[in-house]
Structure 1
């Protein structure tokens, strides 16, 4: 029996967001795969909208010079790595999506390219790492 994926909660300024992460790819057979994609899905609890942030690759080439690591981590050659399972990373993605105009109550599913957000999200994570805890 397939296991149902449970959304995780993220509370930001009193608002509850639900999020989940999924991995997809195309099988080539013999244990080989291509076109791997990590997709982070975020929605505000009780709102109509949904956001899909995809970190995808194309056959034979990852965009843009990005790479995938086991279990939801994405990175760039010689650059930062983001673990998409960490709530702090999800918060940084959420904050960046909101800055770029995502409306959590807009009914259609919004799609964003994760690689286009990558540098800004990595910078948010770096700033959060050096801020003292309150």
Structure 2
């Protein structure tokens, strides 16, 4: 059984990252929280909100799993998916360098990974 909000480790190119998946209110959104182990207070949080063509957790989908109405689905509980999110966030210059929580719309990252 998965434990939401428990940080897991992933090493990418010699850098240790910690990540967790969760759901927050208000705003009803699924979050993937990414932070470097050596800078735990600088966090990137791709957020996924339901909307036209955009789906988030319900009774039919696992926690944290964004999907669209074109049968695209990503499971952020899987290390390979998190690695891909990190790669795309890095390519877009989204990885945080400063202290604080940097919440971004996760759907553009999702679209890049599924197309």
Bucket of the pairwise TM-score, normalised by the shorter protein: 0.7 to 0.9
Local SS of the residue matching 2:66 = strand
Cα deviation, 1:43-63, whole Å, max 9, x if unaligned, reads 011124110110012xxxx2x
Which consecutive unaligned segments of at least 5 residues does structure 2 have? none
Please identify the structure whose Cα radius of gyration is greater: 1
Question: 1:66 — aligned with what?
Answer: 54
Question: 1:54 — aligned with what?
Answer: 47
What is the deviation of 1:111?
A: 1.7
Greater helix proportion:
1
Distance across 1 between alignment mates of 2:53 and 2:4: 33
Among 26, 35, 39, the residue aligned to 1:43: 35
Q: TM (normalized to structure 1)? A: 0.70
Q: TM (normalized to structure 2)? A: 0.81
RMSD: 2.1
* Cα pair distance change 1:106/1:25, threshold 3 Å: closer
Q: How many residues align?
A: 108
Which consecutive unaligned segments of at least 5 residues does structure 1 have? 27-34, 124-134
Question: 1:95 — aligned with what?
Answer: 87
- Aligned structure 1 segments of 4 or more residues deviating by more than 3 angstroms: none
What is the deviation of 1:99?
A: 0.9
